[in-house]
Structure 1
Amino acid sequence: MASCGNAALAAEPEVRRLQPFVVTGTRSEKPADDSPVRTEVVGTEELARTHARSLKEALENVPGLQLREIHGKSGFELSLQGLGSDHVLVLIDGLPISASTSSTVDLSQYLLVDVERIEVVKGAASAQYGSSAMGGVVNVIPRRIEAGTRAQLQVDAGSWGHQNASGRAGEPGMTHALLGVEGGSERWRLRLVGDVNDSRGFAADPAGWTRQGDAVRREQAAVRLSWLPQRHSELWLDASTYREDNEKRYDYFVPPVQVPQRKTEDITRERVVGGTRWRFDSGLRAELKGLHERYDSHTLSYSAAALTGERQSALRTDHASLQIDLPAWHRQLWQLGADLHRERLAQQVDGIGELAAGEVERVARELFAQNDIIVDDRWELLLGVRWQDDSDFGSHVAPKASLRWQLPQGERWRGVLRASLGRGYRVPNLKERHYLFDHSALGYRVEGNPDLQPESSTSLQLGTTLHRGETLTFDANAFLNRVRDLIQTDLGHATVVDGIATYTYRNVARARTRGLETALTWRAAAGLSLNAAYTRTHTEDLSNGRELTRRPRDVLRLGLDWTAYPSGTVSLRGRYQGHELVDQESDARSPAWTTVDLKFNHTWAPGRVLFAGIDNLFDQQRNFANPSDFGPAAGRFFYLGARFTVGTQP
């Protein structure tokens, strides 16, 4: 940007240094205000203040995001701007991660062991991302390894009180530990990290069989080796392993008694990533990276202690990505890239393959081009196009355009206006076409539909960010997403055999989501900051005029950060989610709910922090007797912990 003569960047060096740098919107690092694609950031300070242990906990305070439980599994998925989790692409350092059900990414399965920040782009505004990015992109940016040495240890434990699975309020219901060691020279650097999160689960009635919160043990370990042969070049290899053991317990009514049911699931994920980045004196930059990931799941189902089913699922993902940034030319920044993606799925139940071909495969080849045009010191135009060729559905072209205008600056005010228009495209994933979810013990089955067609969308984003000095920031964004052939579970045409309802997926002819996102941050005084964010969303199934299910109209976020004394901070996080439609046929709705979290941090010596928190302070919990109530499952949760950091890194 500097080589293109961005005078605005040079005019306010101190202000601009306060802006977080982002890469997800354009795949080129630039200050958030200078990005033509609106990007929201969860930084290290927020992660430390709120004690986030997983990607799910890190995202729960981002304005407008809806986190909801994955049906029949021990995890959470993400929805935004009225589009579901299948439309949100989740990345780690720009590379995709496997979905827990070959469709939905389980945010609880990604522990935050070495994260610098998390970036969120809403809508299909960026040409850099293809299928599954119709609703937006979440990109987890790893922390860079610095020369020197550094070690970190964190331990914490918490309790749901009398809802602990053991029924004893005084003992831990969850324990967590993280250990990381890293460092090296100017040329070679190494990081080793491990994380264990062990939850015993919780129950509204610990004396009964049913647990409303599953018992889940999650373990993650990773190693990263980097070689920096030159100042602006790097080669790296990153390998990680994840293991999850969970147990679900519930009752199923078989007249005249309730029969205890149990399901266990063992999950392993092996991920290997390698890549290289080079920047030359001419301004040319190149990046090549790739991954191989194995995701295996082994599920056992029991009824009254008798084994009733065994499922094994194996998903393999390979992805390679190339990006070339050309030197600045006549105030233009050209970027070219290519992605190659392949995933394979195999599934067996009781030793018998459930997929017609034994194993199904999807291959996608994608090319993209982008031109970032610096029109003058105030105007910037980003034009992009992405071509995608899918092994089963052929080729598709998706153009994108974004415009940024820096508003005239006053003595106290500065700001930008942004507008983005893009085409989104998503082919049906392997789950929707081939997977079989057999939850007969719960009274239903969901079968894949091989006749599904790809979804497409048009996304319009129009917004502004305004700053008044360093004390007040206001952000507003209006959005409109028009979707063709939206894929939904077909609840209206279920077949029932022997009391088991069988559902499948279908393409909704047309759907629309629209709304307004607003956010306000006020630094009221030294050591006191307040923020508020409100999102209003309207959705409509244009084939019948009804709103789409599981999309709340109103989402409100409130936050307060207070430095109570020089070494101590107090933070409050409040969330309100309005009612949401659960079933179009019966018009059943899940009621609105509100939760408040309280966080405390005390630095008692350099690199030594004691922390505590109360999640769901006022003990807001759903009515478990109402199947249409999707409010918070977990009640009040207390925890204590300590974090120790030592090292010689700058």
Structure 2
Amino acid sequence: MSRYTPLPLLPALLALSLPAGAADSGQLAPIVVTATRTAKTLDDTPIRTELVSRDEINRTHARNLKEALQNIPGLQLREIHGKSGYEVSLQGLTSDQVLVLIDGLPISASTSSTVDLSQYSLADVEHIEVIKGAASAQYGSSAMGGVINVITRRPAEGFGGRVTLDAGSYGRQNLSGDTLDIASKHGQLNLHGAQGAWRYRLGADRQDSDGFTTDPDAWSQQGDAVLRDQFNGYLAWQPQAGKGIWFDGSRYREEAEQRYTVIAPPNLVPQRKTEIIDRDRLTAGADWHHANGLGWQVKALNEQYDSHSTSRSNNVLTTDRTAELETDHLSAQLDLPMWRNQLWQVGTDLHREALQQYVNGASELDGGEVTRDSQELFVQNDILFSDMLELVLGVRYQDDSDFGGHTAPKAALRLDYLNGYDWRGTLRASVGQGYRVPNLKERHFRFDHSSIGYMVIGNPNLAPESSTSWQLGTTLQFRNRMTVDINGFYNRVKDLIQTDEDNGTNVRGIMVYTYDNISRAETLGIESSIALQLSRRFSTRLAYTWTDTENLDTGETLTRRPEHMAVLSLDLTLPSETTAISLRGRYQSRELISTDRNAWSPEWTTVDLTVNQDVTPSLRVFAGINNLFDTQRDFSDADDFGPLAGRFGYLGVRYQWGAQ
């Protein structure tokens, strides 16, 4: 295990980004839908959109949504406190302010708090779209910080399938202490096809990890043991292009175990927490578009999220907690034909969620069950002045059962200031008002962990958050050989909600934390990247994000927001055309943990290495080492939030057949 942080590596990596002779790759820009809820190429979308492609997922062997997103520039992943999962932060705004969707429909947050990105497998994913800031009028509450939309694959004509198996080891941190033992296993199966008007897809995914420990002889386990199973099914009837009805269902189950100790002088008392999570998700929709541009779509969601967790001290049951979260969502949209170079769009979203949570038979929520309903209406006008100039104007009205009505306008501009054979330059500017009502956990939740020294209590007096988000950036492309992207952002937030050490009070030796509104806060920064196709076989990308945050009432920096983040990607295909080597490097500067104690978590750098070998067009073997330099936090330092897992090596095989 090493605390080594190779900062001198960054200037050298910058040198690799100098232009060199390269052939035009000839790739077409992918189609994205999140920015305007209409299909546009990535180059033509008026709102800046970042993409995780299927090729990137395959190259890096990402197994879940957390692993797929970890190389998005400026995106911060954090462990969910008390759970075996990860949440996301964008542009200095927290996970509660980032809306996560699957095909445009929301994902239920874990116990109505934050979305756990580790719970979503990638068996059926085509690509992932990321929008930062409150730049789109189509998404309401919870989209202040941005939108992450997972786009699933649509089956191709014919029949095909794919099987993936891989296994890995944490080396000397395996629970057995044996370096060669298998500590993690993963399997994935996908069957899909289409015949005539019918399309179908079946998927299954299992991730089974024993976890890891820095001391195999000790009771405590720093990496939790987690078993995750997900099953998906999709059926669609599409009699004509642009017209169809579909049904999609998934079943998810997670079994997790945490092992740790608490001090009861003079002894260390072993503790065990187990949690079983079941999530059933059913979605359906219809999409009907005509040749003249008139179209409509309707989508509906019902998701049941159940959690049962138990805590034991010395094998004696101390806590038995159950939670049931139900989410219903209905979305409808009408696209009007082109009228005087204008594309009008109107839509509505109806949303309801209900939460029950009990500990040892007593409700942890004020009033037993808590519910929330909202009705939202949006109108958008996409004005196409020319192929080079586009203006999108939108407004969204939200009526919430607890907080009443609110209106949020938004605008976005795209200007192609260069549009020649070799060069293309695009300016994008947007401004939008964000709005988020406190979720059910923030207002009503009571999480009593007094046995290990803390409690979290909801605050029913919280006010909704509101923000104004400004984005201004440019993208400069030279053929398909070089892309330079620079974007500045400024988010000014009123009544920002957060909970951390500074919102805690010591009550008879127990730290009691609560959610609180910070009257005024701001986040601002610059996101930059350069991507080069240095040759047909070698490409690289380097991205750097600078973020500055401030509590405007106190002048202090907001906690858990690093100032500097960088991401490096290198992709090399050997002359044989069957071997591909990829490297992904990530750097994060130190981050403030407590303003009262002036405590900081150290900076860190990690590097992942992957190798893909195509044995035949259908058979691929692959290998990888995550965290190549074994950078890991100091577990004896409570203020160290560096990488949790150390070096992890794995081997795998993938076989596919038929239509893909």
- In the superposition, the TM-score normalised over structure 2's length comes to 0.95
**2:392 is the counterpart of 1:367:** no
C-alpha distance in structure 2 between counterparts of 1:106 and 1:57, whole Å: 12
C-alpha distance in structure 2 between counterparts of 1:347 and 1:132, whole Å: 22
Pick which of 434-443 and 50-59 moved more.
434-443
Residue type at the aligned position of 1:56 = K
Q: Counterpart of 2:17?
A: none
Q: Counterpart of 2:358?
A: 348
C-alpha distance in structure 1 between counterparts of 2:333 and 2:653, whole Å: 41
Residue type at the aligned position of 1:238 = D
Q: Counterpart of 1:587?
A: 598
**2:629 is the counterpart of 1:629:** no
Residue type at the aligned position of 1:575 = R
Q: 1:304 aligns with which of 299, 306, 314?
A: 314
Q: Counterpart of 1:473?
A: 483
Structure 1 residues 17, 471: closer, same or farther in 2, change over 3 A? closer
Q: 1:190 aligns with which of 189, 200, 216?
A: 200
* Maintained 8 Å contact 2:26/2:480: no
> Secondary structure, in 3 states, of the residue corresponding to 1:525?
coil
* Maintained 8 Å contact 2:243/2:287: yes
**2:49 is the counterpart of 1:39:** yes
> Secondary structure, in 3 states, of the residue corresponding to 1:321?
strand
Following superposition, the deviation at residue 301 of structure 1 comes to 0.3
> Secondary structure, in 3 states, of the residue corresponding to 1:220?
strand
Following superposition, the deviation at residue 167 of structure 1 comes to 1.5
* Maintained 8 Å contact 1:455/1:484: yes
Alignment of 1:477-556 (within 5 A): 477-489=487-499, 491-492=501-502, 494-556=504-566
> Secondary structure, in 3 states, of the residue corresponding to 1:467?
strand
Pick which of 329-338 and 484-493 moved more.
484-493
Structure 1 residues 138, 611: closer, same or farther in 2, change over 3 A? same
Following superposition, the deviation at residue 475 of structure 1 comes to 0.4
**2:156 is the counterpart of 1:154:** no
C-alpha distance in structure 2 between counterparts of 1:490 and 1:246, whole Å: 25
C-alpha distance in structure 1 between counterparts of 2:136 and 2:120, whole Å: 24
C-alpha distance in structure 2 between counterparts of 1:591 and 1:469, whole Å: 40
State the Cα RMSD in Å: 1.2
**2:571 is the counterpart of 1:598:** no
Following superposition, the deviation at residue 69 of structure 1 comes to 0.5
* Maintained 8 Å contact 1:262/1:302: yes
**2:81 is the counterpart of 1:71:** yes
> Secondary structure, in 3 states, of the residue corresponding to 1:56?
helix
* Maintained 8 Å contact 1:278/1:285: yes
C-alpha distance in structure 2 between counterparts of 1:71 and 1:408, whole Å: 47
* Maintained 8 Å contact 2:502/2:594: no
Alignment of 1:443-458 (within 5 A): 443-458=453-468
Cα deviations by residue, 1:274-300 (Å, 9 ceiling, x for unpaired): 001011132211110100000000010
Residue type at the aligned position of 1:631 = G
Structure 1 residues 636, 15: closer, same or farther in 2, change over 3 A? closer
Residue type at the aligned position of 2:474 = T
Q: Counterpart of 1:287?
A: 297
Pick which of 528-537 and 431-440 moved more.
431-440
Q: 1:125 aligns with which of 125, 132, 135?
A: 135
Q: 1:327 aligns with which of 317, 322, 337?
A: 337
**2:49 is the counterpart of 1:49:** no
C-alpha distance in structure 1 between counterparts of 2:309 and 2:534, whole Å: 52
Following superposition, the deviation at residue 17 of structure 1 comes to 6.4
Q: Counterpart of 1:199?
A: 209
> Secondary structure, in 3 states, of the residue corresponding to 2:419?
coil
**2:434 is the counterpart of 1:424:** yes
Q: Counterpart of 1:178?
A: 188
Pick which of 451-460 and 436-445 moved more.
436-445
C-alpha distance in structure 1 between counterparts of 2:440 and 2:27, whole Å: 44
Q: Counterpart of 1:266?
A: 276
Cα deviations by residue, 1:381-421 (Å, 9 ceiling, x for unpaired): 00000000000000000000001100133553211000000
C-alpha distance in structure 1 between counterparts of 2:46 and 2:421, whole Å: 24
Residue type at the aligned position of 1:442 = I
Following superposition, the deviation at residue 16 of structure 1 comes to 9.4
Q: 2:348 aligns with which of 334, 338, 343?
A: 338
Q: Counterpart of 2:652?
A: 641
Identity of aligned residues (%): 57
Q: Counterpart of 2:625?
A: 614
Q: 2:31 aligns with which of 21, 24, 46?
A: 21
Q: Counterpart of 2:390?
A: 380
Q: Counterpart of 2:5?
A: none
Following superposition, the deviation at residue 183 of structure 1 comes to 1.1
* Maintained 8 Å contact 1:322/1:338: yes
C-alpha distance in structure 2 between counterparts of 1:629 and 1:368, whole Å: 43
Residue type at the aligned position of 1:485 = D
C-alpha distance in structure 1 between counterparts of 2:516 and 2:436, whole Å: 14
C-alpha distance in structure 2 between counterparts of 1:118 and 1:404, whole Å: 22
Following superposition, the deviation at residue 64 of structure 1 comes to 0.5
Following superposition, the deviation at residue 493 of structure 1 comes to 5.2
Q: Which has the higher contact order (CA 8 A, sep 6+)?
A: 2
> Secondary structure, in 3 states, of the residue corresponding to 2:451?
helix
Cα deviations by residue, 1:164-221 (Å, 9 ceiling, x for unpaired): 1122211110000001111131211221111000000000111101111000000000
Residue type at the aligned position of 1:596 = V
Q: Counterpart of 1:250?
A: 260
* Maintained 8 Å contact 1:386/1:398: yes
* Maintained 8 Å contact 1:420/1:460: yes
C-alpha distance in structure 1 between counterparts of 2:59 and 2:27, whole Å: 22
Structure 1 residues 543, 140: closer, same or farther in 2, change over 3 A? same
Could you list the runs of 5+ residues in structure 1 that have no partner in the other structure? 1-13
C-alpha distance in structure 1 between counterparts of 2:478 and 2:27, whole Å: 16
Residue type at the aligned position of 2:450 = S
Structure 1 residues 211, 15: closer, same or farther in 2, change over 3 A? closer
Residue type at the aligned position of 1:604 = V
Cα deviations by residue, 1:472-504 (Å, 9 ceiling, x for unpaired): 100010000000000111644533334211111
Could you list the runs of 5+ residues in structure 2 that have no partner in the other structure? 1-23
* Maintained 8 Å contact 1:181/1:192: yes
* Maintained 8 Å contact 1:95/1:291: yes
* Maintained 8 Å contact 1:16/1:31: no
Residue type at the aligned position of 2:412 = S
* Maintained 8 Å contact 1:120/1:139: yes
C-alpha distance in structure 1 between counterparts of 2:587 and 2:247, whole Å: 42
Residue type at the aligned position of 2:343 = L
C-alpha distance in structure 1 between counterparts of 2:447 and 2:234, whole Å: 36
> Secondary structure, in 3 states, of the residue corresponding to 2:472?
strand
* Maintained 8 Å contact 1:484/1:510: yes
* Maintained 8 Å contact 1:381/1:403: yes
* Maintained 8 Å contact 2:111/2:355: no
Residue type at the aligned position of 1:614 = I
Structure 1 residues 493, 217: closer, same or farther in 2, change over 3 A? closer
Residue type at the aligned position of 2:65 = L
C-alpha distance in structure 2 between counterparts of 1:17 and 1:497, whole Å: 61
Residue type at the aligned position of 1:119 = E
Pick which of 321-330 and 488-497 moved more.
488-497
**2:98 is the counterpart of 1:98:** no
Following superposition, the deviation at residue 440 of structure 1 comes to 1.9
> Secondary structure, in 3 states, of the residue corresponding to 1:47?
helix
Q: Counterpart of 1:9?
A: none
C-alpha distance in structure 1 between counterparts of 2:504 and 2:232, whole Å: 44
Residue type at the aligned position of 1:438 = D
* Maintained 8 Å contact 2:125/2:151: yes
C-alpha distance in structure 1 between counterparts of 2:391 and 2:619, whole Å: 47
> Secondary structure, in 3 states, of the residue corresponding to 2:351?
strand
> Secondary structure, in 3 states, of the residue corresponding to 2:462?
coil
* Maintained 8 Å contact 1:490/1:506: no
- In the superposition, the TM-score normalised over structure 1's length comes to 0.97
